[in-house]
Structure 1
Amino acid sequence: MPLTLEYAFTITVDLGEPREVGTTYAGFRRVVPIAGGTVDGPALSGEVLPGGADWNLVRADGAVHVWARYEIRSSEGAVVTVINEGLADPAGPPEGAADRACPTHPVFEAPQGGPTWLNTAFFVGRLCLPTAPGGPVAVEVHQVLVH
Structure 2
Amino acid sequence: MTLALQPAFTLTVDLAEPREVGRTLAGHRRVIPILGGTVTGPALTGEVLPGGADWNLVRPDGAIHVWARYELRTTEGFVVSVTNEGLGEPGKPIPTRPVFEVPTAGPAWLSVGFFLGELRLGDHPGQVRIAVSQVIPG
TM-score (normalised: structure 1): 0.90
2:89 aligned with 1:123: no
Residue 132 of structure 1: how far off its partner (Å): 4.7
TM-score (normalised: structure 2): 0.96
2:67, 2:86 within 8 Å by CA — same for their partners in 1?
yes
Measured against aligned partners, the alpha-carbon deviations of 1:94-142 in whole angstroms (never above 9, x if no partner) come to xxxxxxx1111111001011111100100000101245533x1000000
Aligned partners of 2:122, 2:133: CA distance in 1, in Å? Answer: 20
Question: What's 2:104 paired with?
Answer: 112
2:31 aligned with 1:27: no
Measured against aligned partners, the alpha-carbon deviations of 1:43-90 in whole angstroms (never above 9, x if no partner) come to 000000000100000001000000000000000000000111111125
Give the alignment's Cα RMSD to 1 decimal: 1.1
Q: Structure 1: any 5+ residue segments left out of the alignment? A: 94-100
2:137 aligned with 1:146: yes
Aligned partners of 2:103, 2:137: CA distance in 1, in Å? Answer: 25
Structure 1: 4+ residue segments shifted above 6 A? none
Q: Structure 2: any 5+ residue segments left out of the alignment? A: none
2:64 aligned with 1:60: no
2:116, 2:134 within 8 Å by CA — same for their partners in 1?
yes
> Partner amino acid for 1:140?
A
Aligned partners of 1:131, 1:140: CA distance in 2, in Å? Answer: 14
Aligned partners of 2:20, 2:122: CA distance in 1, in Å? Answer: 18
- The alignment covers a number of residue pairs equal to 138
Question: What's 1:39 paired with?
Answer: 39
> Partner amino acid for 2:125?
P
SS of equivalent to 1:61: coil
Aligned partners of 2:8, 2:50: CA distance in 1, in Å? Answer: 22
